[in-house]
Amino acid sequence: MGTLKDVARLAGVSTATVSRVVNKSNNVDPETRTRVKKALKRLGYNPSRVARRLRVTRGKTNMLGLIIPDIQNPFFAELARGVEDVGYANNYAVLLCNSDESPQKEKFYLDVMRSEYVDGIIIPPLNETDQEVTTLVREGIPVVCVDRSVLTIPVDTVEVNNYRGAQLAIEFLIAKGHRRIGFVSGRPDISTSRDRLRGYVDTLKAHDIPADPELVRIGDYKQESGRLLTEQILDLSERPTALFVANNLMALGALAAIHNRGLRVPDDISLVGFDDLPWAESINPPLTVIRQPAYEVGRKAAEVLFERFANPDRKPSRISLDPVLVVRRSSG
Partner DNA sequence: TTGTACGCGTTATCAC
Partner DNA sequence: GTGATAACGCGTACAA
Contact residues toward DNA (CB under 7 A) are 3-5, 12-17, 19-20, 22-23, 26-29, 31-33, 45-48, 51-52, 54-57
Nearest Cα neighbor of 243 from 233, 252, 235 is 233
Q: What is the sign, positive or negative, of the torsion defined by CA atoms of 135, 140, 142, 144?
A: positive
DSSP 124: -
Question: CB-wise, 54 or 206, nearer to DNA?
Answer: 54
The one-letter amino acid at 85 = D
List, as own/partner pairs, every contact residues 233-238 make where C-beta atoms lie below 8 angstroms and the sequence separation is at least 24, other chains included: 233/182, 233/184, 234/258, 234/261, 234/263, 234/269, 238/180
Q: What is the sign, positive or negative, of the torsion defined by CA atoms of 67, 68, 70, 74?
A: negative
Q: Which of 190, 277, 289, 301 binds a second copy (CB under 8 A)?
A: 277
Which entry of DNA, a second copy, none binds 313, CB below 5 to 8 A by partner kind?
Answer: none
**Least gap, CB of 260 to a second copy (angstroms):** 12
Which entry of a second copy, DNA, none binds 9, CB below 5 to 8 A by partner kind?
Answer: none
Which entry of a second copy, DNA, none binds 94, CB below 5 to 8 A by partner kind?
Answer: a second copy
Q: Which of 14, 34, 232, 284 binds a second copy (CB under 8 A)?
A: 284
Question: What does each C-alpha distance from 108 to 54, 102, 112, 116, 190 come to in angstroms?
Answer: 21, 10, 6, 12, 21
**Least gap, CB of 1 to a second copy (angstroms):** 7
Q: Which of 47, 103, 188, 312 binds a second copy (CB under 8 A)?
A: 47
Q: Which of 174, 256, 319, 325 binds a second copy (CB under 8 A)?
A: 256
Question: CB-wise, 28 or 93, nearer to a second copy?
Answer: 93
For residues 71 and 105, the answer to whether their CB atoms sit within 8 Å is no
What is the per-residue binding string for a second copy in 139-168, x denoting contact by CB under 8 A?
x-----------------------------
Which entry of a second copy, DNA, none binds 111, CB below 5 to 8 A by partner kind?
Answer: a second copy
Radius of gyration of the chain (CA): 25
Q: Does 53 bind a second copy (CB under 8 A)?
A: yes
- CA dist 91 and 74 (Å) reads 25
